[in-house]
């Protein structure tokens, strides 16, 4: 066990965990931040996507010991009132079906637009390719990203 000091969604947290613990489980089991979901556990589905210093990463394979002083943002902290341009576009296009993958999809989309405010279809496809949706909401996801890009 070791003590880690984390900056998550603008708040400081302290946790005592094994250094190899994936960030996903620190968030879910120790801090009750359950927006990031467990899908595969091996970086293949994107359900667990968070931002680390504004970069979308798979929290299921990120050991807590590698976070250091970097800031973590989860879906709970993406915006104050669910009003991030990506979240508003998601609502407008009624993207979610079962919803399980959607926090990860939104976090990947938000990171994409942070890095590239006007992505092409191909750039959207490339950025989102690691986020799997078993419900097949891909067409709505792409349209929502385009709407968010136009409104941000
Ligand atoms: S649970 Fe992390 S990528 Fe699937
Ligand atoms: S909305 Fe059901 S898995 Fe994506």
Q: Per-residue pLDDT tens for 8-57?
A: 999 999 999 999 999 999 999 999 999 999 999 999 999 999 999 999 99
Predicted pLDDT of residue 152: 76
Ligand 1 touching residue 35 (CB < 6 A): no
Q: How far is CA 61 from the centre of its chain?
A: 14
Terminal CA-to-CA distance of the chain, rounded, Å?
43
- What is the mean predicted confidence (pLDDT) over 53-73? 97
User: Which residues form the domain of 69?
Assistant: 2-77
Tell whether the model's pLDDT for residue 69 goes beyond 80. yes
Q: Do 9 and 67 belong together in one domain?
A: yes
Residue 14 CA to ligand 2 center (angstroms) comes to 32
Q: In terms of domains, do 37 and 90 share one? A: no
Tell me the CATH number at 92. Answer: 1.10.150.120
Structure pTM?
A: 0.97
**Structural domains counted in the chain:** 2
Tokens of 35: 């927006």
Ligand 2 pocket test: which of 99, 107, 128, 142 has the largest number of ligand atoms within 8 Å of its C-beta?
A: 99
What's the pLDDT score for residue 36?
98
Ligand 1 atom closest to residue 132's alpha carbon, by position in its atom list: 4
């Amino acid at each position: 066990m070791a003590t880690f000091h984390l900056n998550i969604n603008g708040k400081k947290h302290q946790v005592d965990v094994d250094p190899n613990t994936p960030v996903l489980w620190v968030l879910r089991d120790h801090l009750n931040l359950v927006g990031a979901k467990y899908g595969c556990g091996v970086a293949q589905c994107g359900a667990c996507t968070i931002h680390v210093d504004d970069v979308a990463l798979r929290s299921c394979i990120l050991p807590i010991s590698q976070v250091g002083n970097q800031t973590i943002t989860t879906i709970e902290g993406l915006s104050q009132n669910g009003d991030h341009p990506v979240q508003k576009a998601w609502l407008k296009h009624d993207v979610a079906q079962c919803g399980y993958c959607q926090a990860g999809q939104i976090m990947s989309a938000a990171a994409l637009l942070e890095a590239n405010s006007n992505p092409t279809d191909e750039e959207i496809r490339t950025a989102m390719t690691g986020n799997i949706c078993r419900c097949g909401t891909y067409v709505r996801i792409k349209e929502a990203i385009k709407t968010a890009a136009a409104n941000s």
